[in-house]
Amino acid sequence: MNKLGVTLSGWELANPVIAASGTFGFGHEFAPWYDINILGSISLKGTTREPRFGNPAPRIAECCGGMLNAIGLQNPGVKSVISQEIPDLRKVFKKKVIANVAGFSVEEYVQVAALFDAVEEVALLEINISCPNVKSGGMAFGSSAESASIVCREVKKVAKKPVYMKLSPNVANITEIAQAAEAAGADGLVLINTLLGMVIDPASGKPIVSTKMAGFSGPAIKPVALRMIYQVYSSVKIPIIGVGVILVQL
């Protein structure tokens, strides 16, 4: 028996290590460096309906305890991901993956989710309502229980595969939003995404990244992630995928 094996909504993984969305591209980029099949799975880079260039540079800044990023959901668009990126990944990765769905309207979430739902290599849908690096959509949908419920409910109407809602940590009460997503039919939850932060250049006195504020990640956010996962775990009955250096040491 595989002691590391886990099951997510009927999907069996050999181990619980999943490359988080945005940190691993579309997966195949890392195949020249090591055998990516040792991973439990891969969550693909956040994907929107149309191609996005992302935010202007500079969009990365190092800081104490981690880093800031303001990539801005750069991606080639869902049709290109399905026709090019996933086939390229299939050549080097023999397991199913998680599709990260991003959007700027409920209709866009639904359309992108429906397209990914029809892809054989996709095991479940990760609905990103938590991205802090875009000016509209993203965190706006994840900042209230009502909007999170609407997105989840509409996506569930077109999706046959499990729907996991990726929640924002930049809220006053994450358990309220988690419970709303569960009530709307979510099969699982993903948390947390990056915290909203800022880094100032001491020489100029100005923010380093072009968007001024950006997503803060790294070892410093682990206590926050653990606290939120604990709170949500205590308030819902659906599975949770924990993101960001939260693996428990055995």
- The residues annotated as belonging to the active site are 131
CB 78 within 8 A of CB 116: yes
Name the residue type at position 76. Answer: P
Structure tokens at 19: 């490359």
Q: How far is CA 211 from CA 62, 80, 134, 169, 218, in A?
A: 15, 27, 9, 19, 19
Residues whose CB is less than 8 angstroms from the CB of residue 4 and which lie 6 or more positions away in sequence, other chains included: 14, 15, 16
Cα–Cα dist 132/129, whole Å: 9
Give the three-state DSSP class for 108.
Answer: helix
